[in-house]
Amino acid sequence: MDYIHTVQYYETDKMGITHHSNYIRWMEEARIDFLAQNGWDYAKLEEKGIISPVLAVTCDYKRTTTFSDKVSICVSVKEFKGVKLHLSYDMKDEAGNIVCQGTSSHAFLNTEGRPIRMKQEQPELFESLCKLAEENNN
């Protein structure tokens, strides 16, 4: 299910257009929602001692959005092989036009900041992310 974000007034600039930095925030909102929808909300990850820092982000802006626009954000697992999680984001306006496309890459670390051997240490999360990657690539 897509994540829906309503553009807030404070997210716009003097020209009434959404400031470009907000799209990255929306990607984070959508990622958190995506993980929760798939049984891995951040509270659960943190309970298991997992942190997931952002390694990289890209945004390709296609069309502008303005105050009160509803933006639908579809998140999918682009790639996951156990070390890094690569996500893609398609953001569309209410008419179905692509307004922005983005990607983000994430690592999985323990609370001491050391990489987690996902398959051995977190097999449920590993299998879940592998399944989502497989579904997206079929």
Active site residue 90: no
CA–CA distance, 57 with 72 (Å, rounded to integer): 19
Q: Pseudo-torsion of CA 66, 35, 110, 128, nearest 10°?
A: -150
Q: Could you say which of 2, 13, 33, 41 is catalytic? A: 13
Helix, strand and coil content of the chain, in percent to the nearest 5, comes to 30, 35, 30
CA–CA distance, 111 with 60 (Å, rounded to integer): 33
**φ and ψ at 108, to 5 degrees?**
-125, 120
Closest CA to 89 of 113, 106, 110: 106
> Hey, which residues are catalytic here?
13
